[in-house]
Amino acid sequence: QVQLAESGGGLVQAGGSLRLSCTASGLIFNWRTMAWFRQTPGLERECVARIAWGSGNIFYADSVKGRFTISRDNALNTVYLQMNSLKPEDTAVYYCAAGTPAASSRTNDYNYWGQGTQVTVSS
């Protein structure tokens, strides 16, 4: 049974930082592209960052470039999202996702999803 267990969400003031973690079990983690998506009510789920299996191919949405950093530890089956200089518009439910090796930013490229963790940034 595949599980993606997220942690690290919460409430933070604008300008603050949070670190999200996602630990995978039940799948071969090393060769998968891992990603963080976020979703707010009424909007589509968007990919904020993704990282390929070897960490050499990393993507960031324009809205988070320079503020968020995605990383992975294949030995721990864990992917991280360090979020700095948070803004109220970063408020969303953040989802960890495991995709195919060549996964893009499309949700259809991801087979497995975490339950989501709420991030709220107050102004």
Reported in sequence order, the residue ranges of 26-114 that DSSP labels E, i.e. its strands, are: 34-39, 46-51, 58-60, 68-73, 78-83, 92-99, 110-113
The C-alpha atoms of residue 42 and residue 35 are separated, in whole angstroms, by 21
Give pLDDT tens digits for 96-116: 999 999 999 999 999 999 999
- Summarised one tens digit per residue, pLDDT across range 58-86 is 999 999 999 999 999 999 999 999 999 99
List, for residues 14-49, the tens digit of each pLDDT value: 999 999 999 999 888 888 999 999 999 999 999 999
Is pLDDT above 80 for 90?
yes
